[in-house]
Structure 1
Amino acid sequence: MPPHTTRPWRAPAVLLALLAALALVVPLTANRVHAAEHHRSDGSGRAVQQSTTVSRYLFTAFTNSGESNMYVYGSDDARNFWSIQDKAYTPPSGLVRDPSVIHRGGRYYVAYTTGWTGTTFGLAVSDDRRTWTHLADIDHGVAANNTWAPEFFTDAPDGKVRVVVSLSTGPTAYRHFQPYVLTALDDTLTKWSEPRPLEGIAPSESDYNGYIDTFVVRKGATYHAFTKNATGELIEHAVADRVTGPYRFTGKGDWAGWGSLLEGQTVVALPGGGYRMFMDGYTVKKYYYSDSPDLEHWTPKRELPGLSGVVRHGTVIRETATVRPGDANPALPGYHADPDVMYAEGRYWIYPTEDGHPGWSGTRFNGFSSPDLVHWTDHGPALDLADVSWCHENAWAPSVVKKGDTYWMYFSACQSIGVAKSSSPQGPFTDALGKPLVAKGQFGHQSIDPDAFVDDDGTPYLYFGQGAFEAARLNDDMVSFATQPVKITPPGYNEAPTVFKRAGRYYAMWSEDDTRSPDYRVAYGVSDSPLGPFTKAAGNPVLAKDPSDQILGTGHNSVIQVPGRDEWYIVYHRFARPGGDGTHREVAIDRMRFDPDGTIQKIRPTQAGIDPVP
C-alpha cells in the first residue's frame, strides 16, 4: 500500500496528447452502432456492408451495504451501468467479496473471496446472470493466513482459465502478501493446479505488507500486472513475458497520479484498442475509473456515475457480438420490446414498448413504418402517457387494429389496459375512455399485454393477461365488452397472447417463462373459434433461444401476413445481443412457415433476418 516515487505524473503537453489519443478509444455503444447501421441501410438494401462489433459490459461487485451479497450490472459504454440483479448471489456460508466474472461455454462464473482469513476462494455459476449457484470452495493447498481477491485470467495463448489470487504466507496474518496463479485442470473449474507465485511481485523490507488485488492483462506478448502495494496503499504496474513472471516494475509509487488508498483495480479492453481501469476508493466509499490507450499512460481518475458510493471491489468484462454483412436483425435501432405489427395504408407498422428503462418504466409508444419489413422509419411518439389522464407510467405492449376508418390502440399502463384512437396509423392516438378499459387486478391477475383482433366479418376481439389468458368479444364501439372476458389459459401460458386467422382456423401464440429469463419462448395453439379454447400444438415451443448465436429471451411476438399472399413473418423481442437482459431487449423479424396440415414449423431465430418484402 505505500508509494514508491520512481516516475512522476506526465507534463500537461503529454496529457493533452493522451486525451487526444483517448478520443479514438471511447466505447462505441450498442445504440450508436445500431443507429449507424440503420442510417446506412436507408434506401440501400440490407442493413450493413461490413462486419461491425457490438459491445456491452458486465460488472459484478459487492457493495458498501454488506459483504454477503453480490450485485450484477450491465452497461452499453462501461461508464453508465444499470442493475441486472440486486443480491444476485449469497454464498451458503462466508463472504462474497471481490467477485471476478468470466463468460465461458455459455455460462457465467465468478470467483470470490470467502473470508478475511483462510485458504479457500469460492466459485459460483449462472446461466442468466440473475440467478447464481454455489459451485465450489477451492482450497489452494498453501499454508496461508489470508486468501484474497481471486481474479480470473483467460487471455493466455493456450486459452486456459487461470485465477490470480493474493496469499499471505508469512508469519503474520494480513501481511507478506504475494500474488499466485492457479490453472484450471478441466472445464468444470473445480480442479486446479498448485499455486505458482508471480515472480518479481513479492514483499520486501520496504514493502513488508506485500501486494494484493493483482489484475493481469495481456497485450501482445507482454503481461501487465496492476497490483496494489499494500504498504503504501498505491496501485503499481509491472510487466513480464510470462504470466508467472519474472515481473519488473515500470510504475512505482504514485506513477499514474491517481493518489493513494485505492484497491480492487480491474481493467477492461475497450473498442478501438484502449483500456479502462476501475478502482475502489474504499476509505471514502467512492468508485473511480481511468482510461488509457496503451496500459502505460492513464487519465486522472474520475468517479463512476451512478455507482460511486454504492459498489466495492468487482470486475468488469466486455462481451461482444458481430453484426455480419447483410444482417437485418435487430430490425429496429435501440432498445424495444413487445412489438405489435400491422399493415396499413401501404406500409408495415410496428408499435413496440420503449425499453432500456429500469423497472420497465417507459412512458410512450413510438410508431415505426416500413415499405418492406426491413427498412424502418421512426415516426416518434404515437401515444405519450403524458396525454393519458389516468396513468403516466409503465407504458407496455401496445396492440393496434383498424376498424372502419379509425385505428385503435390497446395498451398497458399502470398494470391496467387502456384504449386510444387515431385517424392515422402514425397517430397521434388520444385516450378514448378517460379511464382504463380493464382495471388493475380486475380479473385476479395482471391486466397487461392486450392483443386486439378483428375477424373477417368485422367482429372485434380482445385478449390479455399475465398469469391467465383472457378472451372477450368487443362491441363495435371498440371501448366496451360485448361478452365478459373468460379464461382460456393453455398449459405453460404466462403472458403476451396474440391471435390471427389462417385458412379458416384461429391460431393463438403466447409466451412462456419470464421475460427476464433467457428461456423466455413462444408457444402456440389452434382453435375453430376466436374465443378458443386453443389446443396447444405438439412440438412446442415454436420459437426459442439459440445460445450458439447469442440469441436469448425470444418472446412476446406478433404475426404479419403479406397482403394477398400466404406469406407470414413473426415479429418478436429478445435480449439485445450481446449482454442484454429483460429490460434491454431488441426487436427481430424472421420468416414463419406452415406445413400442409397447418402446423407452424419450428422458427429459427436469426441474425440475418429477412429479405425486403416486395
Structure 2
Amino acid sequence: MTFRLITDGRPHPLLSKPSFGAYLFVYFTGNSRNEEAIRFAISMDGYHFKVLNKNKAVINSSAISETGGVRDPHIQRGADGKTFYMVAADMVSAKGWNSNRGLVMLKSTDLIHWSSATVNFQKQYAGQDSLLRVWASQTVYDSTVGKYMVYFSLKYGKDPDKLYYAYANPDFTKLEGKPKQLFYSPDNAACIDGDILAKDGKYYLLFKTEDRLPGIKIAVSDRLAGRYTLQSPTNVQQTSSPVEGPGTFKLNNGKGYILMYDMYASGVCQFTRTTDIKNFKTVDNEVEMDFHPRHGIIMPITKSEAGRLIKKWMTPDDIVQTVKAEGLKENNIKLDTVLNTLYLPFKPGTDLRRVHLKFMQLPDVTISPETAIDFTHGPVNIRVAIASGKTATYKVISLEDHNPVLEGYYADPEILYAEKTSKFYIYPTSDGFPDWGSTYFKVFSSPDLVNWQDHGTILDLTKDVNWAKRNAWAPCILERKINGAYKYFYYFCAAQKIGVAVADDPLGPFVDSGKPLIDQPPPEVKGGQQIDPDIFTDPQSGKSYLYWGNGYMAGAELNNDMISLKPGTTVMLTPDSTFREGSYVFYRKGKYYFMWSEDDTRSENYRVRYGVALSPLGKIKVPAQNVVIAKDPAKGIYGTGHNSVLQLPGKDEWYLVYHRFNYPKGIKMGASAGWYREVCIDKLEFDGDGSIRQVVPTHNGVRMVHIKK
C-alpha cells in the first residue's frame, strides 16, 4: 500500500500515486453576465498558460446555478486521486454584491462531464434572514473525519464578513450541519477569500481582510478546522495595488509553491513564489497567459488528464498560434482561418535563414517539421495533429513590418529627439491593463526610429509619487539646456491630475515635484478631466506652454521654473465639437499646428484632427478637411489616435507617432481594445499651402533614419 499527500497534508491510503506533469487553471473573467462562468486553461510548467475552449465557458452557468452566474471557482482533486470537486459562488454581480445566498457544488471523474447541485443557505438553514452574501467557497479533504470540508465567507447584517466551514455529504450535493466559524479575526476585520495550504503538518489559511489593513494575510493552525492564529499582522502580497482571491499550488518540480492573487483594479493576476509560506518573491516576468483571469485556482494534473482536456477543448488553430521564435512579434501574429495561412511578423534584422519555430509542448500533439525553417525562399507548410484526430496544415509566411515599433502594449506616445544623446526616445502610457489601470511609466530609445530598446520603468506612482497612486497616463517631455546642462521636464497624468518630474538625462531618474501641477479644471469648465498634457516651446519667442484637457482644451504659459503655470495666462482653446483629448502642438513655417483626438480611445473610429493658429494661445482655425489619420479597415488598422509629432533636426521632414488597436486582435476585443494598444510611426507630409495630407496608416512603418551631428 502506498501513501500520498492530499491538500490537507495528511497521508491517505491510495492504490497508486498520480504523476503530475501539467496544471489546470480554473477561473472566471469579469462582472458581465457571460463572464461569470467557469473557464479552463492549461500549463505544462505552472507559468505558461493557454486557454481551453477559446476562453469560453466550459460549463453553462445557467444550468448549474440559481442566479444564472458563478464566480470565484475552486477545484480540488479527491482523496481517491481520480475524482474532482468544484465549488463556486452562485452569483450575478449585476444584481448587487449583497445579492447571493449560496454556492454551487460540482463533481466529475474526467474534468469534462460534471454533475452539480446548489446550496441556498436561506433555504437549507433556519435563522438566515439577515444573511447578505456567500462568497468565495473552497473545498479540502479532512482525513480526520473522512469528509470534504467546504469553507466560505458569510456576511450577516451589519457584521463584517467572516470565514465559516461545513462538511459536504458523501454525494457532494449539499452541506451537513450548521456552518461553523473557521477563523476569528483578532480585530474583527472583514475576512473573505480563504485558501488553505498544508505543509509540514501545518495548515496555512490565506485570506483577504477587507478593512483595517486591506490585503492578504496568513493564519496558521495544527488542525484543518482550526483554531487559526495570525502568522503576522502584515500583508504578504507584493504589490501596493488592491488585491483579492489568493490561491496557492505546489509546483510539480518540487521547487516550492506559487501564491497568486487577483489584482482586480489592474486586470492581472500576480504570481509569487515561496518555499516557506512566509517570504514571497514576485515571478511575473516568468508568467505568460493569453487570457485575463479573475479570482481562480490552479491544480496540478497528469499529462494524460491534460491530453484529455486538449482533445476536448483545443484545435490545431489554437496550437499553431502558440508559436514563438527569436525576433517574432508575438502580439501581431495573424492566422487566416479561411486560407489556413499563418502570418509571422519579425523584428527588423531578424535572420530568416534558420528560424526555429517553437510551439507549446502539449501531450498528444505533434507538429512538423521540427527542424529550422528557411523563410528566404518563401512560405513553408506546417502540420499540426491532435491525437483526437483533429489535423490541419498551414501555409506560414514571414513578414518584416516596422509597425508597431515597440514590443508590447503601449499608448499615448510622446517622442523626443534628445540633443544630449543624439537618440530618439518614446515615452508612452503602459497599456494592457483593463480600465487603463497602469501605475508606472517606461521609456524606449532608438538610434534610427526602427530599432527600439526598452529601458524599463522611469517613474512608478506607487513608489515615486506621494500625491497619486493610479492611472499613469499620457506623458510628455521637454529637453532644455539650462546653464550649460541639459534638463528634462516630464509631465504626466496620475489619478486624473497632472504632475511634473525632472531629470538630468532622458532615461532619468526622474524626481517628482511633490505636488500636482494641475488638479482642477479652469473655472469655466464643467466636467471633463485634467489629463493629456502637452509641452511646447515656441521657437519664435522661446517661451514654453502647457496644453491639457479631456472634454476641453486649455493652454497656459509656463514659468521659467517649468513646474508652475504663469498666473493669468490660462485660456480655453477647444477648437470644435470633435475635440475629445490628446492635444499636441508644433510650429512649422509661421503656423502653429494644433492636433487632437476625436471619439473614444475604445472606438475603432478614434482618430486625429488638426487646426492652425497664429500664436501659441491664439484662436484655432479648423480646415474643412482636417483629418490627420483614421482607421483603414482594409488593412485591419483601427483606433488610430493620441499622437505626437517628430521633426528631424534641421530638416522639413516630419513623422506622426500614434497608437492603434492591437493588430490583428483588437477589432474583436470590443471596448477592451481601448487598453490593448500599440505604438506606430508613419510619415507626416504637407501640401504647398501648409495643409496636412491625411496620413495613411501602415504596417510597414518607416525606414531607418540617422542624424548626422
What TM-score, normalized to structure 1?
0.52
- The match for 2:696 among 599, 604, 608 is 604
Change (3 A) 1:488 1:579: same
Do 1:27 and 1:270's aligned partners in 2 also have CA atoms closer than 8 Å?
A: no
The equivalent residue for 2:355 is none
The answer for the alignment partner of 1:451 in structure 2 is: 534
Q: What displacement does 1:437 show?
A: 0.8
Pick from 510, 520, 523 the counterpart of residue 606 of structure 2.
520
User: What pairs with 1:305-320 in structure 2 (closer than 5 Å)?
Assistant: none
Match of 2:565 among 481, 487, 490: 481
Offset, 1:267: 4.9
CA drift at 1:416: 0.3
- Alpha carbons 1:493, 1:511 under 8 Å: kept: yes
Give runs of aligned pairs for residues 390-539 of structure 1, distance below 5 A.
Answer: 390-404=467-481, 405-432=486-513, 434-439=514-519, 441=521, 443-444=525-526, 445-456=528-539, 457-482=541-566, 483-491=568-576, 492-539=578-625
Matched, 1:358 2:406: no
**Aligned pairs for 1:575-594 within 5 A:** 575-580=661-666, 581-594=673-686
* Alpha-carbon offset, residue 484 of structure 1: 4.0
Q: Kindly indicate whether structure 1 or structure 2 has the higher relative contact order, using CA contacts under 8 Å at least 6 residues apart.
A: 1
How far off its partner does 1:435 sit?
Answer: 1.1
Q: CA deviation at 1:400?
A: 0.1
Q: Deviations over 1:341-388 (max 9, x none)?
A: 011021111100000112211111111111111111111122221211
Shift, 1:469, TM fit: 0.8
Q: Which amino acid aligns with 1:395?
A: A
- Tell me by how many angstroms 1:296 deviates: 2.8
Q: Is this contact kept in 1: 2:684–2:693, CA < 8 A? A: yes
Q: What is the identity, as a one-letter code, of the residue corresponding to 2:493? A: S
SS at match of 2:320: coil
Alpha-carbon distance between aligned partners in 1 of 2:458 and 2:493, rounded to the nearest angstrom = 14
8 Å Cα contact 2:626-2:692 kept in structure 1: no
In structure 2, relative to structure 1, the CA distance for the partners of 1:566 and 1:439 (3 Å cut) is same
Q: Matched residues in 1 for 2:664 and 2:464: separation?
A: 35
Unaligned runs of 5+ in 1: 1-10, 17-21, 30-54, 72-85, 89-255, 276-289, 299-319
The answer on whether the counterparts of 1:58 and 1:579 sit within 8 Å (CA) in structure 2 is no
1:12-34 Cα deviation digits (max 9, x unpaired): 99999xxxxx989x9999xxxxx
Cα gap change, 1:411/1:292 in structure 2, threshold over 3 Å: closer, same or farther? farther
Question: 5+ unaligned residues in a row in structure 2: which ranges?
Answer: 1-16, 23-42, 72-91, 95-303, 324-361, 366-384, 667-672
CA contact (8 A) 2:307 2:364 kept: no
Distance in 2 separating the partners of 1:359 and 1:321: 37
Identity, % of aligned positions: 45
TM-aligned CA distance change 1:605 to 1:274, over 3 Å: closer
Q: Do the aligned residues in 1 keep the contact of 2:53 with 2:314 (CA within 8 Å)?
A: no
**CA–CA distance in 1 between the matches of 2:705 and 2:590?**
24
Q: Distance in 2 between matches of 1:66 and 1:595?
A: 65
Cα distance in 1 for residues equivalent to 2:400 and 2:686: 26
The aligned amino acid for 2:519 is A
Q: What CA distance in whole angstroms lies between the structure 1 residues aligned with 2:438 and 2:563?
A: 24
2:458 matched to which residue of 1? 382
Q: Find the partner of 1:557 among 643, 656, 675.
A: 643
- Contact 2:410/2:428, CA 8 A, preserved across alignment: yes
The 8 Å contact of residues 555 and 572 in structure 1, kept in 2 or not, is answered as: yes
**Residue 297 and residue 347 in structure 1: after superposition, are their counterparts in 2 closer, same or farther (change >3 A)?**
same
Using the size of structure 2 for normalisation, the TM-score is 0.45
Q: Cα 1:15–1:558, aligned 2, differ >3 Å: closer, same or farther? A: closer
Once the two structures are superposed, residues 37-57 of structure 1 have per-residue CA deviations (whole angstroms, 9 ceiling, x without a partner) of xxxxxxxxxxxxxxxxxx999
Aligned residues: 357
Q: What do the CA deviations read for 1:163-208 (whole angstroms, capped 9, x no partner)? A: xxxxxxxxxxxxxxxxxxxxxxxxxxxxxxxxxxxxxxxxxxxxxx
What root-mean-square deviation, in Å, do the aligned CA atoms of Structure 1 and Structure 2 show?
4.2
Query: How does 1:58-457 map onto structure 2 within 5 Å?
Result: 59=55, 267=315, 269-272=317-320, 293=365, 294-296=385-387, 325-344=399-418, 345=420, 346-385=422-461, 386-404=463-481, 405-432=486-513, 434-439=514-519, 441=521, 443-444=525-526, 445-456=528-539, 457=541
Structure 2 partner of 1:177 = none
Cα deviation, residue 472, structure 1: 1.0
Partner secondary structure for residue 532 of structure 1: coil
| Secondary structure in structure 2 of the residue aligned to 1:270 | helix
Q: Secondary structure at the match of 1:523?
A: strand
Whole-Å separation in 2 of the counterparts to 1:70 and 1:504: 62
CA distance in 1 between counterparts of 2:604 and 2:396 reads: 19
Q: Secondary structure at the match of 1:478?
A: coil
